[in-house]
Structure 1
């Protein structure tokens, strides 16, 4: 493999290239590879993780916005050339690559767009049974946090409504070039068997976002925009704050609201 310095990390793209091959192998090995044959790596950079994915019995695709990285990958991973997609993951219609086939997502994600990557994954959850990758440690912990935690919020609830989230291990700044100022964390999301909610999903997203935007208020106060009946607001669940409720209780709350407003 060519010199690590061949591609210069670009600050505006949030690039921190992983240099430690043992960690790259560990991340590649987090996927179970069950129920799908395609994997999409986001932001492969110089391919330290890609190399280990290519050894597996799957079809690896990579999506990369950085022209210099794309050039490097084409020159160094010849067998990958026709599966390098020079696109912006957040803006690109992934059905152009996968049609309606299932695929997993993996990557060492740029910190500045990592939450948006998760939200896009949630939109495509019917096609994405597994998701694994590296985030800023705080974000990875937030995604996996449970009710009662200070960091439990919109990202935690919406992700865990559809996926089992597991924080796997912490990665120090020293294994990156350039080193970030914070630790990183690797997590794994496995889609739940029953990932369709027993309530209106659009309403669920709206209830969660509205409730957590005023997380210090009780639900009786933060959900006023729904014009709920006095009878429903008398339910003890409305005396709690959203961060006190588990994902299943928040789904239950949405069902109560749905019945009330219909």
Structure 2
């Protein structure tokens, strides 16, 4: 039976082990949504202690027998404050088979805490994985791509077919690996809003979006410095250029 939180359970043991093989935590880590212990059983073979976050109460008994070494939190990961025993975690890592409905929100929460989260390995819907890793000029490239890759280097693993799950989803899943860019940067909500506004009207020129936030003089100065055409669209700009563009517009 599918959980009401949208989880499709990974039942193929070979795929379970393969996901764990991508995971290389340096310090403390947590598994998000352990469910029936599909990944947990493989992780316990390699690691003597880690945290577990599970929102669904039906799985509590599975995970609380050895809760001294594997602390279990029955709560939504989205509500976690990135503290353990009132102390902020540092260089933390995360792993999990994320529910399709909340995967993007979870990853955005992690990006907001990138100064604390160094590494993650997730299984997500293939479409989400492509958005996270997409480059300029690709159809999936958007504000999510730029924002996440501004804080993390993203690597895509293999595609996991529907048959590896119960119940089988109607779409493919994919392994995604994130490693924090160093030195770690603090979350900038204004930068996130800037990116969102630039990609909001993908069929329109970037000029149209910028005029809603910045003065004509600052925009023209930017276009001259970059030798851009007025017809330029946001999806044509490479990832590495976006932080520089943001800083230049803010400095005028």
TM-score using structure 1 length = 0.87
Is 1:94 paired with 2:94?
Answer: no
What is the CA RMSD across the aligned residues, in angstroms? 2.0
Aligned to 2:217: 230
In the alignment, what sits opposite 1:18? 10
Match of 1:207 among 194, 214, 218: 194
Report the 3-state secondary structure (helix = DSSP H, G, I; strand = E; otherwise coil) of the residue aligned with 1:226.
Answer: coil
In structure 1, list runs of 5 or more residues that go unmatched. Answer: 1-7
1:5 aligns to what? none
DSSP-derived class of the 2:240 partner: helix
Q: Which runs of 5+ in 2 are unaligned?
A: none
| Other structure's SS at 2:19 match | helix
Match of 2:2 in 1: 9
Matched residues, number: 246
Aligned to 1:196, the other structure's residue is in SS state coil
TM-score normalised according to structure 2 size: 0.90
State the match for 1:137 in structure 2. 126
The answer on whether the counterparts of 1:45 and 1:69 sit within 8 Å (CA) in structure 2 is: yes
Aligned equivalents of 1:158 and 1:39: distance in 2?
23
Note the 1:1-262 alignment, pairs <5 A.
8-10=1-3, 12-33=4-25, 36-57=26-47, 59-74=49-64, 78=66, 83-96=71-84, 99-196=88-185, 201-230=188-217, 232-233=219-220, 235=223, 236-237=227-228, 239=230, 240-260=232-252
Q: 1:73 to 1:212 in 2, by over 3 A?
A: same
C-alpha distance in structure 2 between counterparts of 1:27 and 1:70, whole Å: 23
